[in-house]
Every structure is written in C-alpha cells, then in structure tokens.
C-alpha cells in the first residue's frame, strides 16, 4: 500500500463531477487500499478519490458508529438519500467541519441528520446502510467530493468569505498543490 498526496482546493479534479466506476479490477482495489492507507496517515475520517487526484466516484471512510454500519468501507458509485437539512444557522461549536483538501481550516455547516447509502464495494458487491448524526455528515462530506463540491462551496456567506480569504492567504486556488500525509505537518494538529 502507498500513501498518496492529497490535492488542495483549486486542483481541477476537485471541482468537477467524478466519473462512474465501471471496471472492478485489481487496479481499483489497489487504489482503494492506497486510499485507506492515505486516510489513516492523514488522520482522516473519510477520503474521496478526487482528493488523491482520481476522478472516479468512490470514497473510503473509517468511523466508529452506533448505526450498525461497517466501521470502515469503500463505497463505489454511491447514491445518498438524505433527510431534510434544517434552515437554521449552523452552530459554530457543534457543526464545524474540516477537509483534507482545504487543510487546517474549519467552518460550520448545516447537514442532514440522516443518510442512507446505496453503493457497491471494490468487487461490485452491494452495500446499503443508514447513518445518523456525525456519521451521516461524514458520508455527505465525502459524497459531495464526487460531485465536484467541497464543504466550503456550501457555507453561508459570512463563513464562505472567511474561507475564500484564507484560501487566498494560503495561495490555494491553483492547480498542482498537494500535501503529503506522514511527511508534511498534520494541518489539523493530530
């Protein structure tokens, strides 16, 4: 297994819809293994293929949950069904998210409290489960990457302005920027 560099906001693959996976072979399963290794090295809870420069509809997660779902899985070609997202202002103490592709920054965002995922694994076998709370948030966050969206694209105006100001300060928004888990300092201080 190999730890892969993580792309940073501005890399084109992060900002376009990923392609369906249609070949389930050893190359796909190697990518999945590398993504699990990268997620672990980055102290992440989830990692989508576009975050490692691959425009395919798949993500991995590792998250202990009380929903009866696997604590880790690779979800290929996932479809999410969500409960309604509250129109309330997000709580900055309880609903703050971070992203490995917007490293070191965290902003509050409202998400659905419930999600159902229908996907397949790296062998094409079906996976279906429901998630609530933070686990549902993790799934939504990673799924958004497959549609070319980062959580900062969904922030309310005042947080969006802060995020874009920080991106400019960090020199992000251009292709070719990455960071290497296990080599570069952990942007979230784990």
Phi, psi dihedrals of residue 167, rounded to the nearest 5°: -60, -45
- Residue entry with tokens 């799924």: 143
CB burial class (10 A; 0-12, 13-18, 19+) of residue 50?
A: buried
* 99 in a labelled binding site: yes
Q: What DSSP state is assigned to residue 92?
A: T
* pLDDT tens sequence across 119-177: 999 999 999 999 999 999 999 999 999 999 999 999 999 999 999 999 999 999 999 99
Can you name the CATH fold of 6-179? Peptide Deformylase (3.90.45)
Can you list the alpha helix ranges (DSSP code H) found in the chain?
26-41, 133-146, 157-170
**Per-residue pLDDT at 189:** 87
The residue from 37, 97, 105, 142 that is catalytic is: 142
* pLDDT tens sequence across 36-78: 999 999 999 999 999 999 999 999 999 999 999 999 999 999 9
- For the cut 90, the answer to whether the pLDDT of residue 1 exceeds it is no
* 15 in a labelled binding site: no
* 187 in a labelled binding site: no
pTM of the model as a whole: 0.96
Catalytic site residue 20? Answer: no
* Structure-block tokens of residue 82: 């969500």
């Amino acid at each position: 297994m190999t730890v892969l560099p993580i792309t940073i906001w501005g890399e084109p693959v992060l900002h376009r819809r990923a392609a369906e996976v249609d070949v389930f072979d050893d190359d796909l399963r190697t990518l999945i293994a590398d993504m699990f290794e990268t997620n672990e090295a980055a102290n992440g809870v989830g990692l989508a293929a576009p975050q490692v420069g691959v425009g395919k509809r798949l993500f991995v997660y590792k998250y202990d949950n009380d929903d009866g779902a696997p604590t880790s899985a690779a979800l290929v070609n996932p479809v999410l069904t969500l409960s309604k997202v509250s129109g309330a202002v997000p709580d900055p103490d309880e609903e703050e998210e971070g992203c490995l592709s917007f490293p070191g920054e965290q902003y509050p965002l409202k998400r659905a409290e419930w999600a159902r995922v229908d996907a397949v694994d790296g062998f094409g076998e079906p996976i279906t489960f429901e998630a609530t709370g933070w686990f549902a948030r993790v799934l939504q966050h990673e799924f958004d990457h497959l549609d070319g969206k980062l959580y900062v694209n969904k922030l309310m105006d005042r947080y969006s302005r802060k995020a874009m100001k920080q991106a400019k300060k960090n020199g992000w928004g251009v292709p070719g920027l990455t960071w290497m888990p296990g080599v570069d300092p952990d942007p979230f201080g784990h």
